[in-house]
A and B are shown apart, each in its own frame.
Chain A
Amino acid sequence: MTAGAATTGREAGVSSRGRISDLVRSFTVAARLGWALEANWTDPLLFFIYSVAKPLSSALILVFMLEVIGGPAGRSLRPFVVVGSALWTFVVSGISGLAWAILEDRERYRVLKYVYVSPSDFLVVLMGRGVARVAVGLAGVVITLLVGVTVLGVTFDLATVDWGLLAISTVFGLVSIVALGILMAGICIQTRQESWSYPEAFAGALFLITGAVFPLIVLPVVIQPIGLLMPLTWWIAGVRQSLFPGGVDSIGGPGSAFESIFGHAHPGTGEIALALLVTSAVVTLAALAVFRWSDRRAKQAGLYDQTSGS
Chain B
Amino acid sequence: MSADLSSGLNATVATPAPVSDSGLSAAPEPVPAAGHEPSPETAPSHATTGAQEPPAIEVRGLRRVYKVKPKPVVALDGIDLDVASGEFFGLLGPNGAGKTTLIKILTTLLLPSEGTAKVFGFDVEHETAQIRRIMNMVAGGEQSGYGILVVREQLWMFTQFYGMSNKDGWRRTDELIEAVGLQEQKHQRVSTLSTGQRQKMNLARGLLNDPWILFLDEPTLGLDVAAARSMRELIVEWKAAVPGRTVLLTTHYMAEADELCERIAIVDHGKILAIGSPEALKRRVQRESIFRVELDQLEGGAAMLSKLPGVVSASAAAGAEGSEVSDRQVVVINLVLEDDSALGDVVGALAARGSQILGLRKSEPTLEDVFVELVGRGFEEGEPSEQVTG
Contacts and interface: CB of A to CB of B under 8 A. Distances in A.
B146 interface: yes
A15 interface: no
A305 B191 CA distance: 9
B146 to A, nearest CB: 5
Contacts of B148: 192, 308-310
Residue among A192, A302, A309, A310 facing the most chain B CB atoms (10 A cut-off) = A309
A308 B192 contact: no
A153 to B, nearest CB: 48
Contacts of A193: 147
B147 A309 contact: yes
Contacts of B149: 310
A307 interface: yes
A309 B192 contact: no
Interface string A276-310: 00000000000000000000000000100011111
A306 B192 CA distance: 8
B39 interface: no
B143 interface: yes
B146 A310 contact: yes
Nearest to A307: B147
A302 B191 CA distance: 10
B143 A307 contact: yes
Nearest to A309: B146
A302 B146 CA distance: 16
A182 B149 CA distance: 29
A66 B69 CA distance: 51
A309 to B, nearest CB: 5
A219 B146 CA distance: 43
A250 B83 CA distance: 76
A309 B147 CA distance: 6
A245 to B, nearest CB: 53
Interface string A184-220: 0000000011000000000000000000000000000
A307 B148 CA distance: 8
Contacts of A302: 192
A309 B192 CA distance: 13
A143 to B, nearest CB: 32
Interface in B208-247: none
Interface string B131-142: 000000000000
Contacts of A192: 147-148
A20 B191 CA distance: 37
Contacts of B147: 192-193, 306-310
B146 A306 contact: no
Nearest to A303: B191
A310 B148 CA distance: 6
B276 to A, nearest CB: 40
Contacts of A309: 146-148
A205 to B, nearest CB: 25
Nearest to B149: A310
A271 B2 CA distance: 75
Contacts of B143: 307
Interface in B1-21: none
A302 B149 CA distance: 16
A96 to B, nearest CB: 22
B191 to A, nearest CB: 4
A308 B143 CA distance: 11
A135 to B, nearest CB: 28
A134 B191 CA distance: 32
Nearest to B190: A307
Contacts of B192: 302, 306
B188 to A, nearest CB: 13
Contacts of A310: 146-149
Contacts of A308: 147-148, 191
Nearest to A110: B143
Interface in B141-157: 143, 146-149
A310 B147 CA distance: 7
Nearest to B147: A308
A142 to B, nearest CB: 34
Interface in B111-147: 143, 146-147
Nearest to B148: A310
A308 B148 CA distance: 5
A200 B102 CA distance: 44
A14 to B, nearest CB: 42
A192 B149 CA distance: 12
A192 B147 CA distance: 9
A309 B144 CA distance: 10
Interface in A158-180: none
A166 B192 CA distance: 50
20 contacts: A192-B147, A192-B148, A193-B147, A302-B192, A306-B147, A306-B191, A306-B192, A307-B143, A307-B147, A307-B191, A308-B147, A308-B148, A308-B191, A309-B146, A309-B147, A309-B148, A310-B146, A310-B147, A310-B148, A310-B149
Interface of A: 192-193, 302, 306-310
Given A309-B147, A310-B146, 15 more contacts: A192-B147, A192-B148, A306-B147, A306-B191, A306-B192, A307-B143, A307-B147, A307-B191, A308-B147, A308-B191, A309-B146, A309-B148, A310-B147, A310-B148, A310-B149
What are the 8 closest A-B residue pairs judged by CB atoms, nearest first? A308-B147, A306-B191, A310-B148, A307-B147, A309-B146, A310-B146, A308-B148, A306-B147
